[in-house]
Amino acid sequence: MERVAVVGAGIIGLSTAFALQRRGAEVVLLESGSPGGGQSAGQGRIFRHAHADPRLVAQVVRSRALWRAWETELGVELVARDGAVAIGDGVPDKLAALAPFPDAPARELTSAELHERLPLLADYDGPAMLDEHGGAIRTRAAIEALTARLGDSLVVDHVLAVRRRADGDIEVRTGTGARTFDQVVLCAGRRTAALAGALGLELPVDLGAHVRLTFARVDGGSAGLPTFQDGSGEFGETGVYASPYPGSQRYAVGLAGHTPARPDGAVADPEELAALAERTVAYARLALPGLRPDPLDHVHCWVTALPWGEDGVGVWHDDGVTAVAGHNLFKQAPVLGEALATTALTGDVPDDWHHSARLGRDD
């Protein structure tokens, strides 16, 4: 039985450990804090199919099918059925990107249909679309269900170093000891590049910090809401995203931008992070009058972006160590977890996921 350590219990680490466990591996999942408390924090994420890279569209279609299978196996709703709405001049390109994929149905929305589905939105009559099988990922439900399934495989401890030993084993040194494994998978968010770099794997990660804010509905209603992407510029910002909390009484809103961070993990300019929050409030006041303008909470998280695209993802593997990096990975968790498990157990990175393939590239 292969002994595998997975470092990091965000959604990707949990998904990887789950896939390895189901394949019969002896898994230890190492996490210093609460599962899902880092880059996976918050109550929701957007599940959407449209991407510039058709290979990524295909992988996301596969991931959606796996999310459905997880719902059956784990007994909990993981992706809401309210769809994903997008507006702006990029809508025709998104619809064209999805046209070859019958399992990702999407269509244009009239202005009336848009406001019926998203009554929070201010008047808008430009291009709009509905990704019918998109929706809000129930992030806490996913984290909690996977954590429960993994049981005693989850070990609360912080990883200081990973090294290859002369006997071929991989040693993981933690705060309370040292263990050896046949394989190690690094899913440690902003720490992945540093851990991997000490083993000769160079990950070109651009580290930053991001904020999203949560607002309450003015009407106090609980009718289901779609997720939302705004690339229109009509309301002063482009690259805006939003997702409902479970129950749809709250809506989380964020801007696509992030503020740079230093390699040591410190935010380079804290004023920039505060400014992002202020811009998000200003956008919500203008574009989403159906929300109360005072934020109820903030979620701050790290961004680990790759140079070839905002949705870029890559897997590195060498001599018993696998590392993954990328941004906007939550929706890909089931399929990416399967790919990382395959890599750990076979030593081969599936073609699309190898970092040289530049999956999710923008060009």
Which letter does DSSP use for residue 168 in this model?
A: S
* Cα 46 to Cα 71, 241, 268, distances in angstroms: 17, 8, 28
Residues in Cβ contact with 331 at an 8 Å cutoff, skipping those fewer than 6 apart? 45, 46, 47, 48, 60, 63, 137
| Tokens found for residue 95 | 């619809």
Contact 177, 262 (CB under 8 A): no
Give the pLDDT score at 219: 92
What residue has token string 């959604």? Answer: 11
Which tokens is 248 given?
């749809």
> What is the CATH class of 3-39+142-204+309-357?
alpha beta
| Contacting residues for 349 by C-beta, under 8 A, at least 6 apart | 315, 316, 317, 322, 339, 343
Measured at the alpha carbon of residue 217, what is the angle toward residues 214 and 221, in degrees to the nearest 5?
Answer: 130
Instruction: Compute CA distances 340 → 19, 43, 121, 324, 337, whole Å.
Output: 9, 25, 39, 8, 5
Domain 84-132+206-305 fold = D-Amino Acid Oxidase; Chain A, domain 2 (3.30.9)
What three-state secondary structure class fits 132?
Answer: coil
10-residue mean pLDDT profile of the chain (363 residues): values are 95 98 97 88 92 97 98 97 98 98 98 97 97 97 97 96 96 96 96 95 94 95 94 95 95 92 86 94 97 94 93 97 96 98 97 97 88
Rg (CA), the chain: 20
CA distances (Å), 70 to each of 172, 187, 340, 341, in order? 30, 20, 17, 16
Q: How many whole angstroms from its chain centre is CA 363?
A: 21
CA dihedral 258, 260, 264, 267 (to 10 degrees): -70
> Considering only CA atoms, which of 206, 221, 312, 212 is closest in space to residue 263?
206
What is residue 39's predicted lDDT score, i.e. its pLDDT? 83
Residue intervals in the chain for CATH 3.50.50.60:
3-39+142-204+309-357
b/e per residue 93-109 (b: at least 16 CB within 10 A): ebbebbeebeebebeeb
Residues of the chain with CATH 3.30.9.10: 84-132+206-305
How many CB atoms sit inside 10 A of residue 165's CB?
10
Token pair in block for residue 3? 């002994």
* CA dist., res. 329 & res. 15, Å (int): 11
Q: How far is CA 248 from CA 67, 79, 120, 241, 291, in A?
A: 20, 13, 11, 15, 12
What is the pLDDT at residue 205? 95
CA–CA separation, 16 vs 27, rounded Å?
10
Neighbours of 50 (CB within 10 A): 24
CA distance 235 to 253: 14
Distance CA 98, CA 49 (A): 7
pLDDT of residue 363: 78
